[in-house]
Chains A and B, each alone.
Chain A
Amino acid sequence: MKLALFGGLYSNYLALEVAIADAQQRNVDAMYCLGDLGAFGPYPDRVFPLLRQHEIICVQGNYDDSIGNELNDCQCGYTDPDDNHFAQVSYDYTLQNTCADNKAWLRGLPKELGLTVDGLRLLLCHGSPRRTNEFLWQSTTSTAFLNRLADERSADLIIGTHTGIHWQRELRDLRRYVNVGVLGRPENDGSTNVWYTVLRTGSDADSDALPCTANGGAIPVSVDFVPVAYDYELLANEMRREKLPDEFIQTVMTGWWTTCLEILPSRERRVGKF
Chain B
Amino acid sequence: MSNPEVMDTPRIELTSLDELWFQVAGTICNLTCRHCFISCSPNNHSFEFLSFEQVETALLESVEQGVREYYFTGGEPFLNRNLVPMLKRTLDFGPATVLTNGTVLKPEWLSELRAAEEQSGFSLEFRVSVDGPAAEINDPIRGDGTFERAIKGVALLCEHDFLPIITMTQTWDDSRNAEILQQFRDVLRQLGCHRPRLKILPRLKIGAEENRMEGYAETERITHQMMEGFDRNQLLCHHSRVITNRGVYVCPILLEASDGKMGDTLAESLHPFPLNYGACYTCYQFGAICTNTTLRPRESD
Q: Footprint of B on A, CB under 8 Å?
A: 62, 65-66, 75-81, 111, 130-135, 137-145, 147-149, 151, 261-263, 265-270, 274
Q: Which B122-160 residues sit within 8 Å CB-CB of chain A?
A: 122-125
A265 with B299: CB separation less than 8 A: no
B300 with A142: CB separation less than 8 A: no
Q: Which B32-76 residues sit within 8 Å CB-CB of chain A?
A: 62-63, 65-69
B195 with A274: CB separation less than 8 A: yes
B68 with A77: CB separation less than 8 A: no
Query: Looking at the complex, which one of B95, B178, B298, B301 makes contact with A77 (CB distance below 8 Å)?
Result: B298
A142 with B95: CB separation less than 8 A: yes
B121 with A145: CB separation less than 8 A: no
Return the chain A residue nearest B162 by Cβ. Answer: A266
Residue B161, interface by CB 8 Å: yes
Given contacts A77-B294, A135-B297, contact A270 B161 (CB under 8 A): yes
Query: Looking at the complex, which one of B95, B199, B301 makes contact with A139 (CB distance below 8 Å)?
Result: B95
B62 with A140: CB separation less than 8 A: no
Query: Looking at the complex, which one of B69, B122, B292, B300 makes contact with A133 (CB distance below 8 Å)?
Result: B300
Given contacts A145-B94, A269-B163, contact A140 B297 (CB under 8 A): no
Chain A nearest CB from B175 CB (Å) reads: 14
Chain B interface category by residue count = 35 or more
Residue B117, interface by CB 8 Å: yes
Q: B63-94: contact bitstring with A at CB < 8 Å (1 yes, 0 no)?
A: 10111110000000000000000000000011
B297 with A134: CB separation less than 8 A: yes
Residue B295, interface by CB 8 Å: yes
A142 with B69: CB separation less than 8 A: yes
Chain B nearest CB from A80 CB (Å) reads: 8
Query: Looking at the complex, which one of B181, B295, B300 makes contact with A132 (CB distance below 8 Å)?
Result: B300
A75 with B68: CB separation less than 8 A: no
Given contacts A78-B294, A140-B122, A141-B68, contact A131 B94 (CB under 8 A): no
Count chain A CB atoms within 10 A of each CB in B121, B161, B294 and give the residue with the most: B294
Query: Looking at the complex, which one of A66, A76, A268 makes contact with B297 (CB distance below 8 Å)?
Result: A76
Query: Looking at the complex, which one of A133, A140, A145 makes contact with B123 (CB distance below 8 Å)?
Result: A140
Q: B194-222: contact bitstring with A at CB < 8 Å (1 yes, 0 no)?
A: 01010100000000000000000000000
B123 with A262: CB separation less than 8 A: no
Residue B18, interface by CB 8 Å: yes
Chain B nearest CB from A169 CB (Å) reads: 9
Chain B residues positioned under 8 Å from A78 (CB to CB): 294
A111 with B301: CB separation less than 8 A: yes
B93 with A142: CB separation less than 8 A: yes
Chain A residues positioned under 8 Å from B111 (CB to CB): none
Given contacts A142-B95, A145-B94, contact A269 B297 (CB under 8 A): no
Residue B293, interface by CB 8 Å: yes
Count chain A CB atoms within 10 A of each CB in B94, B117, B123, B292 and give the residue with the most: B123
A75 with B297: CB separation less than 8 A: yes
B163 with A144: CB separation less than 8 A: no
Given contacts A142-B122, A145-B18, contact A267 B294 (CB under 8 A): no
Q: Which B268-295 residues sit within 8 Å CB-CB of chain A?
A: 292-295
Return the chain A residue nearest B118 by Cβ. Answer: A267
